[in-house]
Structure 1
Amino acid sequence: MRRRTFLGGCATGVAAGLAGCGGLLEERSTDGSGNPSVLEDRPDAVYHPTHIEGMEMIGTQTVGDRKVGLFYSYAHRFWTVTGTRTNLAEIQDGQDVHLMASTWDPETQTVIPVLDQPTFTITQDGSEVDEKRAWPMLSQNMGFHFGENMALSGDGTYTVEVDVPAVGATTVDDFQGQFGESITAEFSFEYAQSERDDIRFEQFPDQKGSSAAVSPMEMGMLPLSYAPRMGQLPGSPVEVGSVGDATMVATVDGSTLLVSPRTPYNHFSIPGFSLSATIESVGFDGQLDDAIGPVLGAHYRAELPEAPSSGDELTVTVDGPCSLSRHEGYETAFLERGSVSRTL
């Protein structure tokens, strides 16, 4: 399959891989891995990263009721999350690429997040080269995906198996009953270090650390995990407030409470929270369930004893921070617990 190289966003928001993004081939330097050093004074919120990297597309496969896309870029640092603490995953010797995968519904193009770790297995001529469990991740230019730094054995032909677990979230509307089985997608690709080194790389010396985000990539063949616009939500949606820089949008559809957390700036859905809600007027005070739907995407929901009335107060509480691993610019956000309230 023909591969295409994409830049994961640029300062001007120009389409990935197109001309018009200045300084895309700046020298990769500073921390020994080729990446700029981690900023010392980062805000406890979303911030503009020091740099972004393009990526090379390996291909897509339709397996069962999901489509799987596989990509790679330079090996790079990221952060895993334990409770409210982040853990920097440094680039290790022998790690050649950052391998990434995304899964989506082929009909609606809705990204299907899985919070359990999938497995990447790389072989060459029938022998295993590397195998790792990939991390469910969030990045400013791609939104939700899976990723991990992987080793290769030089230039050559490789086979990659991507084993994706079943979806653990509640499937609703036209997704009801789908994504309940694990799937395996297999890809074959030619790798050359010279081609990897040609992947675009951009630094942001003037914008790094500011209250902003890089533009999402624009790839027709790769859907991104955008949260639904307010006008796409049923009922009368309201912005309840922000916890840890995650904006909580909520609405009621009949007697179903729907909560849609999203990132600032790029408005990606944020799975991986533990959320609860209170509407005293209808006697509800309980946990929200993870869910996925064709229009709502990744969201949280609960059935209420009865439909609330206009003017009733809703409180949304983050009981547990987002558990997703993060690319730079998101690792200091979505880590707080707390509550926000608003009248419906």
Structure 2
Amino acid sequence: MREDEARRPGPRRATPPANSSRRTSRRAFLAAAGAGTLAGLAGCSSLNLTSEETGSNGRRTTTIDRPAAVYYPTHATGMQMSGVQKTRGYACALTYTIPETFWLVGGTDAAKATPAAGDELHVMPVVWDVETGQRLTDVSPMLRFVDDGSVVASNAPWPMLAQRMGFHYGDNVALPSGGTYDVTVHVGAPAARRTGALAAPESATFEFSLAYSAAEIDAISYRTIDRAGERGALDPMSMRMIPGGALPAVDALPGRRLGTGTIGDAAVAATLLDDATGFGGDESDVYLAVSPRTPYNDYPLPMAGFGARVDGTDHDLVETIDAALGHHYGVVLDGDVSRVTIGLDVPPQVSRHGGYETAFFDTASVTLGE
């Protein structure tokens, strides 16, 4: 994959389906993803990268040959947190680290985004449901930074995956200098279907005070990874005040499990629930839940287009967040299922930190069950 650089690329996200539950045909979803492809940014080609680059704060990182799969990145950084705020059934943590390189995804293309001159921080809000601890992948935060009554920066961070942090929202932010800023994080209505005990307010706003100095940013931990470029993943970061980002283990999913396969480097598990009343069906229906996840750390893969073929009939799967199943894609069916073919038509439209940017682009299918 060629690392085409883009400091301020085009559209923020692949164009989402028109309604909040993403009940759209796969054909429409494919067209929408194509419309949101990163304008002017080239996609995948060679994976051979052996030059040495200078990162933020003068840190040097040697790039490596990358497999088209999840791999150990070149480095790992620590982070700081401005606190946790709660409102309307949601909690939000405002975290930050040094400016980071990451990759933007549009359709089947990935493009490298490097820190720009003036970027002071990589800011990462994490939002979750208070009652269940479920991290939320569908709330699209907007950030505003205020200094002495004046707005100095506004930002719509990208939905993003990182090996140590899991799913979060993040972006590099240009600020005048170190100091104390009043930060507002505003989240909108859910974009995915919510089921179970999850809160679903139309909006929520969190207020933080973010204080930092150049010396404090320079002191954030940074270590190089000896196994960089090998297949594998870093262990998740321990975050005492933030719930973990992993999905339920496959053997802990409720229902009758149909098995686990792979599409590209993604693990894809499917389970069948006998009662579909919590998902818009009735007691005589069944609910097919498909749980795609990253290997090694079991992080969710949101903003993708999945379908299922059952007994010769194609079904679109609806992106859903459920208290018991976590993030998944599902459909109500009117009969029992023993065998299903799961197809990925649109790769996960989430930005990626190093180690994930070459994975999860294969559009293929896998058959599960007997």
Q: In structure 1, which of residues 200, 219, 232 is the aligned counterpart of residue 239 of structure 2?
A: 219
2-structure distance, mates of 1:227, 1:244: 19
Q: Are 1:117 and 2:155 matched, yes or no?
A: no
Aligned pair partner of 1:287 in 289, 293, 316: 316
2:298 corresponds to which residue? 267
Moved more, 46-55 or 239-248: 239-248
Pick one of 66, 82, 102 that aligns with 1:58.
82
User: What's 2:205 paired with?
Assistant: 184
Cα deviation for residue 313 of structure 1 reads: 2.0
8 Å CA contact retained: 1:144, 1:224: no
CA distance in 1, matches of 2:54, 2:212: 25
Who is 1:156 aligned against? 179
Answer yes or no: is 1:208 the counterpart of 2:228.
Answer: yes
Matches within 5 A, 1:165-184: 165-175=188-198, 178-184=199-205
Does the CA contact (< 8 Å) of 2:300 and 2:327 recur in 1?
yes
Report matched runs for 1:20-99 at 5 Å.
Answer: 30-33=53-56, 34-37=58-61, 39-99=63-123
Q: Which structure 1 segments of 5+ residues have no match?
A: 1-28
Using the alignment, how far apart are the partners of 1:324 and 1:264 within structure 2? 16
Mapped partners of 1:137, 1:239: distance in 2? 28
For residues 302-340 of structure 1, the C-alpha deviation after alignment (integer angstroms, 9 at most, x for no partner) is 0012122xxx32100001000001011001111110101
> Deviation digits for residues 221-272 of structure 1, max 9, x if unmatched?
1112211112321223243311121100001001100000111011112111
Matched, 1:317 2:343: yes
Q: 1:243 aligns with which of 253, 263, 267?
A: 263
For residue 107 of structure 1, report the CA deviation from its aligned partner: 1.6
Secondary structure of the residue aligned to 2:197 is helix
Matched position secondary structure for 1:194 = helix
1:285 is displaced (CA, Å) by 1.5
Distance 2:142 2:68 in 1: 31
- In structure 1, the residue matched to 2:154 is 131
1:9-64 deviations in Å (ceiling 9; x for gaps): xxxxxxxxxxxxxxxxxxxx942534544635211110000001100011111021
CA distance in 1: counterparts of 2:259 and 2:148, whole angstroms: 54
Q: Distance in 2 between matches of 1:329 and 1:277?
A: 29
Matched, 1:197 2:221: no
User: 2:252 matched to 1:232?
Assistant: yes
CA distance in 1, matches of 2:308, 2:267: 15
AA aligned to 2:309 is T
User: Aligned letter for 1:322?
Assistant: P
Could you list the runs of 4 or more consecutive aligned residues of structure 1 that deviate by over 6 angstroms after TM superposition? Answer: none
Equivalent-residue separation in structure 2 for 1:58 and 1:201 (angstroms): 20
Distance 2:341 2:156 in 1: 36
Question: How many Å separate the matches in 2 of 1:84 and 1:269?
Answer: 18
Whole-angstrom CA distance in 1 between matches of 2:290 and 2:200: 22
**Alignment deviations for residues 82-128 of structure 1 (CA, whole Å, 9 cap, x no partner):** 111101111100001000011111121111111x6321111110111
Q: 2:336 aligned with 1:307, yes or no?
A: yes
SS of structure 1 residue aligned to 2:215: helix
TM-score (norm 1): 0.86
Equivalence for 1:17: none
Residues of 2 paired with 1:38 and 1:296: CA distance? 39
* Superimposed CA distance per residue, residues 267-289 of structure 1 (whole angstroms, 9 cap, x where no aligned partner): 11211110000111xx6421100
Q: Considering only aligned residues, what root-mean-square deviation do their CA atoms show, in Å?
A: 1.6
- TM-score norm. by structure 2 comes to 0.80
Quick one: which amino acid aligns to residue 154 of structure 1? Answer: S
Distance 1:294 1:300 in 2: 14
